Homo-oligomer: A and B are copies of this chain.
Amino acid sequence: MIGATTSGELRAHNRVRLLRAVHDCGATRTRSQLTRDLRLARGTASVLVAGLAEDELLHEEPAREHARGRPTQVPGPHPRGPLALAVDVREDAWELAACELGGRTETLDLRPHDGTPEGVLIPLGEAVAAHRRRLGHRVVGLGVAFAGPVRHGGLVDIAHLGWRSVDVPRLLGPDVPAPVVGNDTAFAALAEARRGRLQGVQVGLHLHVDFDLGGVLVVDGRPLGGASGAGAEFGHMPLTGGDRPCPCGAIGCWSMDVGTNALLRHVGLAHGGGKGRAQAERVLATSEEAVAANARALGRGIAALVNAHDPEVVTLSGHGVELRERAGKTLLAACEPRLMAIRRDHPPRIEGSALGWRGALVGAMESVFDAFLTPECVEMWRETGLTRVATRPSGRM
Could you list which residues of chain A lie within 8 angstroms of chain B, going by C-beta atoms?
Answer: 1-5, 7, 10, 13-14, 17, 38-40, 149, 151, 157, 159, 165, 201-203, 217, 219, 224-231, 233-234, 236-239, 241, 243, 246, 248-253, 303-305, 307-312, 337-342, 344, 346, 348
Residues from chain B with a CB closer than 8 A to the CB of A225 are 203, 310
Residues from chain B with a CB closer than 8 A to the CB of A217 are 224
Residues from chain B with a CB closer than 8 A to the CB of A243 are 241
User: Given A203-B227, A217-B224, A224-B217, are A338 and B13 also a contact pair (CB < 8 Å)?
Assistant: no
Residue from B10, B238, B310, B312 in contact with A7 in the complex, judged by beta carbons closer than 8 Å: B10
Residues from chain B with a CB closer than 8 A to the CB of A38 are 5
Residue from B5, B310, B348 in contact with A39 in the complex, judged by beta carbons closer than 8 Å: B5
Interface of A is mostly: loop
Are A307 and B236 in contact (CB-based, < 8 A)?
A: yes
Q: Nearest Cβ distance between residue A43 and chain B, in whole angstroms?
A: 13
Residues from chain B with a CB closer than 8 A to the CB of A237 are 237, 239, 304-305, 307-308
- Measured in the bound complex, the distance between the Cα atoms of B249 and A338 in whole Å is 7
Are A236 and B340 in contact (CB-based, < 8 A)?
A: yes
A-B contact pairs, 13 of them (CB 8 A): A1-B1, A2-B3, A5-B17, A5-B39, A202-B227, A203-B224, A224-B309, A226-B311, A233-B307, A233-B308, A234-B308, A248-B342, A250-B303
Are B308 and A248 in contact (CB-based, < 8 A)?
A: no
Are A340 and B250 in contact (CB-based, < 8 A)?
A: yes
- Measured in the bound complex, the distance between the Cα atoms of B160 and A341 in whole Å is 13
A3-B13, A5-B17, A251-B338 known; 11 other A-B pairs, CB under 8 Å? A159-B341, A203-B225, A203-B226, A203-B231, A231-B308, A231-B309, A233-B340, A234-B308, A249-B344, A250-B307, A250-B338
Are B40 and A5 in contact (CB-based, < 8 A)?
A: yes
Point out which of A2, A229, A251, A308 has the most chain B C-beta atoms below 10 A from its C-beta. Answer: A308
- Measured in the bound complex, the distance between the Cα atoms of B201 and A344 in whole Å is 34
- Measured in the bound complex, the distance between the Cα atoms of B152 and A202 in whole Å is 14
Are B310 and A231 in contact (CB-based, < 8 A)?
A: yes
- Measured in the bound complex, the distance between the Cα atoms of B53 and A268 in whole Å is 75
Closest residue of chain B to A10, judged by CB?
B10
Closest residue of chain B to A304, judged by CB?
B237
- Measured in the bound complex, the distance between the Cα atoms of B39 and A38 in whole Å is 27
Closest residue of chain B to A311, judged by CB?
B227
- Measured in the bound complex, the distance between the Cα atoms of B159 and A378 in whole Å is 52
